[in-house]
Structure 1
């Protein structure tokens, strides 16, 4: 059966049918999936009964993998990590965020596999930051393109937070020391498509460099609200063994926390990306690659 792509909205999201990822991913299939990812920003696959090793190997087709400094790894494939949420370990992902923007080279993508689902609820929502950017006025877009923002590990993973407590004080302190705040452009140019998109998120963006705190807070608050508009979104209702593969460079997502005290277990692979830039301030390494 040939691969079939079924778009879910005109803006973001598509279901990939006719593909069994457990059979392995050829170079041709990986290239085809990358093109669909660039077009739709998040891809969904249903009925994919992958082992953690198969999950890891699928993700590794698209780049080197990131190992999270706090979440528990998977024994068979330690590059992956488990999100196991229930009444005794509620989720901390019920806020809009882009994954791991607290490092210099944030992920190009993430691949999430549904292993155990609650009887009801537990959906995930993705939003297109390209659509969010394009919906702003040209004057505001021009202003934002000149700005950089601070992304901070400590904002997303505070010392007394759920994940920090589960990881332990020593592990959190080590992760904090290894991840000082970093600067990224407020508007990012996608390195493969050349599209511009907002690149600030509630989860990790602490402030805008060069502005007074009240100015920064006001602009970030407006942008954090703006990106949640329904027309930028696709909502995915998980089914057993479904997979979501999203382009982390141009999306945000939100795990809907409506299923407790039921249990929800997901496994994630995170694919490293490149240093973000805006076309007006392109780094030397990006120019050399062209």
Structure 2
């Protein structure tokens, strides 16, 4: 039996030149004439942005070259991606607990800065680079759907970012292990940010993009396998950055299962894509079904602005399908 080719999810974006970075994750629009600022203002902008959200949810992460998108336009795009793909009306843009409001930027813009804050919170020199894999803000009861990062300051070399596919990570598991994981729930803990805030005299942000994302105890419980509502695909939803314990297992069982899953994500390089940034590039990814990690191999300044949209409360639909099953691709078992 010959596996079916992977279909295109470009929709109305098919008029723009693009290519897939890998079979399972990552699509790039390499021509800088393709400007997100123009897409926002196009006569059919709702159609284009909805199709962009669909593409991102299928491909995990999408890259755009040398963008002129302003901070306000970045906010607008982050809002419309979620709204046009069906997120709850109560979900807006996230305010990161330790993103301070400044005269230039409001709390819903996270500054990704190599010298402090979110970018290197918890970073330890000489620790395994694979320790940095995470999905954004899974410690919130209602976490992120989409995130947009524009890098405007780069070191001479280094500082690449990697993304991994949660769909493909799920598909690589055996049927018995998938069945075991489905229905389990895990604790996601972001209280490292609380400790960072106290140590640095920072006031924690509250009312963080959803009525449920409030308070100073940054802990949430989510399904280990969740369903992405845009694609309907099952995805593995644990990440080393925040997932601490599977509630239905003993501590030793939980540690062993989570360690296996963390290695499963970080060591399968054929479900990952690595992106080398150029100035003013933009990456947009779906936090429901990808993980990412920066490469801390550089010296000098590296800085960008990130907008994180709040989506829906994570859920698992037992009737949903895996990506390979839904697309008619070959399976491992």
Any idea what the Cα deviations from partners look like across 1:49-89, whole Å, max 9, x if unmatched? 22211221221212321111112346444121211113999
Within a 5 Å distance, the mapping from 1:54-203 to structure 2 comes to 54-63=73-82, 64-73=92-101, 75-78=103-106, 79-86=108-115, 91-92=120-121, 95-154=132-191, 156-157=192-193, 159=195, 161=196, 165-166=199-200, 168=201, 170-171=203-204, 177-203=215-241
8 Å CA contact 2:167–2:289 kept in 1: the answer is: yes
TM-score w.r.t. the length of structure 2 is 0.76
User: Could you say what secondary structure the match of 1:27 adopts?
Assistant: helix
User: Could you say what secondary structure the match of 2:240 adopts?
Assistant: coil
Gaps of 5+ in 2: 1-13, 83-91, 124-128, 209-213, 321-333
8 Å CA contact 2:184–2:247 kept in 1: the answer is: yes
Within a 5 Å distance, the mapping from 1:30-45 to structure 2 comes to 30-45=49-64
User: Could you say what secondary structure the match of 2:235 adopts?
Assistant: strand
User: Could you say what secondary structure the match of 1:151 adopts?
Assistant: strand
CA RMSD of aligned residues (A): 2.6
Q: Does structure 1 residue 230 correspond to structure 2 residue 249? A: no
The structural deviation recorded for 1:27 is: 1.0
Specify whether residues 21 and 135 from structure 1 end up closer, same or farther in structure 2 by C-alpha distance, changes over 3 A only: same
8 Å CA contact 1:102–1:179 kept in 2: the answer is: no
User: Could you say what secondary structure the match of 1:43 adopts?
Assistant: strand
Within a 5 Å distance, the mapping from 1:214-253 to structure 2 comes to 214-228=252-266, 229-253=268-292
Gaps of 5+ in 1: 283-290
8 Å CA contact 2:54–2:230 kept in 1: the answer is: no
Specify whether residues 30 and 274 from structure 1 end up closer, same or farther in structure 2 by C-alpha distance, changes over 3 A only: same
Specify whether residues 259 and 194 from structure 1 end up closer, same or farther in structure 2 by C-alpha distance, changes over 3 A only: same
TM-score w.r.t. the length of structure 1 is 0.87
Q: In 1, Cα distance between the equivalents of 2:75 and 2:298?
A: 27
Residue in 1 that maps onto 2:247? 209
User: Could you say what secondary structure the match of 1:31 adopts?
Assistant: helix
The structural deviation recorded for 1:134 is: 0.6
Residue in 2 that maps onto 1:27? 46
Any idea what the Cα deviations from partners look like across 1:165-193, whole Å, max 9, x if unmatched? 44x26538999943342210000111121
8 Å CA contact 1:38–1:247 kept in 2: the answer is: yes
Specify whether residues 213 and 119 from structure 1 end up closer, same or farther in structure 2 by C-alpha distance, changes over 3 A only: same
Any idea what the Cα deviations from partners look like across 1:89-142, whole Å, max 9, x if unmatched? 972376100100011111001000001001010000000011011101111110
8 Å CA contact 1:103–1:182 kept in 2: the answer is: yes
User: Could you say what secondary structure the match of 1:108 adopts?
Assistant: strand
Residue in 1 that maps onto 2:10? none
8 Å CA contact 2:164–2:291 kept in 1: the answer is: yes
